[in-house]
Amino acid sequence: MPLRPVSSLILLRPGERRALLLFGDIVMVIAAVVIALAFWAQGDLYANFSIDFLLATPLWFYFLPILWLILLSSLYQERRAADWSETLRVIAIAAVIALAFYSVIYFFNTPKSLPRRGVAAFIGSALILTLSWRFIYINIFTAPQFLRRVLLVGGGETGQIILKILRTLHPQPFIVTGIIDDDPNKIGSEIEGYPVIAGSDQLLETIAEQDITDLIVAISGKMQGSMFQALLDAQEKGIEITRMPVVYEELLHRVPIRYLEADWILRSFVDQARGNMFNDIGKRSIDIIISIVCLLFFIPLVPFISLAIIIDSGFPIFYTQKRMGRNGVLYNIYKFRTMRQDAEANGQPQWAEENDRRATRIGALLRKTHLDEFPQFVNVLKGEMSIVGPRAERPELVEWFQQHVPFYRARLLVRPGITGWAQVNQQYASTIDETIEKLEYDLYYIKHRNLGMDIRTMMRTPAMILGFRGR
């Protein structure tokens, strides 16, 4: 007998799981602040845990929870959140980074001007409480009783794609109990290790027997009338029906461009990719503010980086290169030079590679830390780029890619970005398959873009930089 699930009212979808994780982390980090303030006040002979003490606490102390949540941003991916070893690793790194960052600030400030006791108590409390909450989440909300039970409708190529994806995901996001398909040659067989249970004529019976909560429809061709009616009957019984492209997006946060026809792009992608005026104004305002702040922070580093480049490989310090921006408009991108002067002696553009041999010694470090990209904030101020968006590509590569990668030019619907959804999920592409995967992330961003997604991307960017994941 299958393990019976709990009430379907509390079986969580991927987006709901992320919301639950964030809510729990917020509760824990607020509790950590309260504990830290109480511990701080207790250690101060001249203070009591009172309103006056809270008002006298430096304002920056109350922003520590936000910094902590930013450091945990990679753990809001459902698969990582359900992996205890990954959870331990990320939370431990967050605590070390927080402690190291504070130590640097502390030793460069006036002695006894910053509260060691309060900050140490916050980091320790946040570490213990967050680990406790994540342990509860992993052991309860990822248990089989809390997973939705799914039937896959359609065992053809499209259905096999989802099944292959599921085999690579650990832990499983839901339980697939089997496949429904009207092809009599498939019934009784297995596809990717999952049984083909029955046809559409037995759909309702199978749903009842298997305690099914969801159906994933993976039929790419014409649907028979009997299957369509069976799906309607299942929906009337309260079963949730989801199309394969939607599931693909929920699982991978990418758009499945390999398996979609152009009419889907027109119906689903182009319509949803139209910008909202207020969203565009807000995005542009954030671009300007962040660019100004980052350039002010960056200017003191310019002499040191410039000197290092000159000593290592001579002039020039900066370089400009033609890139293709929004709507195919060309512009000059600004970067620190990280490659040898003869990196493209034959004049042909080349893909960046892991540990690229064309990079200079200082250039390799700048690329690993992404410091080479700081001059691009000038491009953002000029309106040629955005903080968040698809990576800017050279026009020669765009022309080549659009001949080999379906829908590639669709990424030009928005401004290119310094960081982006593809950049934080997958690093530089060096093959066609990797380029296709990166485009799927880019189109997912364009389709779902809003200020919330921009903030989510920016929150994950520091972890990428601190992890030295650049090339």
pLDDT tens figures, 149-192: 999 999 988 899 999 998 888 778 889 999 999 999 999 999 99
For residue 25, name the pLDDT band (cuts at 50, 70, 90): very high
Mean pLDDT calculated for residue range 8-30: 83
Res 324 pLDDT > 90: yes
Q: Which of 210-219, 259-268, 289-298 has the lowest mean pLDDT?
A: 259-268
For residue 109, name the pLDDT band (cuts at 50, 70, 90): low
Name the DSSP letter for residue 224: P
Q: For the chain, give the percent of residues with pLDDT over 70.
A: 85
User: How many angstroms separate the CA atoms of 429 and 435, rounded?
Assistant: 5
Tokens of 174: 């839901």
Q: Which of 225-239, 257-271, 386-400, 453-467 has the lowest mean pLDDT?
A: 257-271
User: How many angstroms separate the CA atoms of 28 and 64, rounded?
Assistant: 13
Q: What pLDDT is attached to residue 295?
A: 92
Higher-confidence residue of 337 and 1: namely 337
User: How many angstroms separate the CA atoms of 135 and 81, rounded?
Assistant: 10
Cβ–Cβ under 8 Å, residues 78 and 146: no
Structural domains of the chain, with CATH: 8-140 (no CATH), 148-252 (3.40.50.20), 277-466 (no CATH)
Average pLDDT, the chain: 84
For residue 435, name the pLDDT band (cuts at 50, 70, 90): confident
Q: What pLDDT is attached to residue 371?
A: 87
Res 233 pLDDT > 90: yes
Q: Which helix (H) or strand (E) holds 463?
A: helix 451-466
For residue 221, name the pLDDT band (cuts at 50, 70, 90): confident
Res 141 pLDDT > 80: yes
For residue 48, name the pLDDT band (cuts at 50, 70, 90): low
Alpha-helical regions (H) of 274-373:
277-298, 302-313, 361-369
For residue 377, name the pLDDT band (cuts at 50, 70, 90): very high
Q: Which of 79-88, 127-136, 456-465 has the highest mean pLDDT?
A: 127-136
Higher-confidence residue of 42 and 39: namely 39
What are the CA-CA distances from residue 196 to residues 157, 181, 302, 372, 412 (Å)? 14, 7, 63, 53, 42
Tokens of 327: 């709507």
Res 468 pLDDT > 50: no
Q: What pLDDT is attached to residue 47?
A: 55
User: pLDDT, tens digit, for every residue of 336-369?
Assistant: 988 887 666 565 666 565 566 778 888 888 888 8
Q: What pLDDT is attached to residue 2?
A: 46
Mean pLDDT calculated for residue range 410-415: 89
Phi, psi of 166 (to 5 degrees): -60, -35
pTM over 0.85: no
User: How many angstroms separate the CA atoms of 413 and 416, rounded?
Assistant: 9
Q: What pLDDT is attached to residue 471?
A: 45
Tokens of 83: 């992996």
Tokens of 19: 């919301």
Tokens of 394: 């050279």
Q: What pLDDT is attached to residue 470?
A: 44
User: pLDDT, tens digit, for every residue of 274-294?
Assistant: 556 778 888 999 999 999 999
Q: What pLDDT is attached to residue 363?
A: 86
Q: For the chain, give the percent of residues with pLDDT over 90.
A: 37
Q: What pLDDT is attached to residue 265?
A: 62
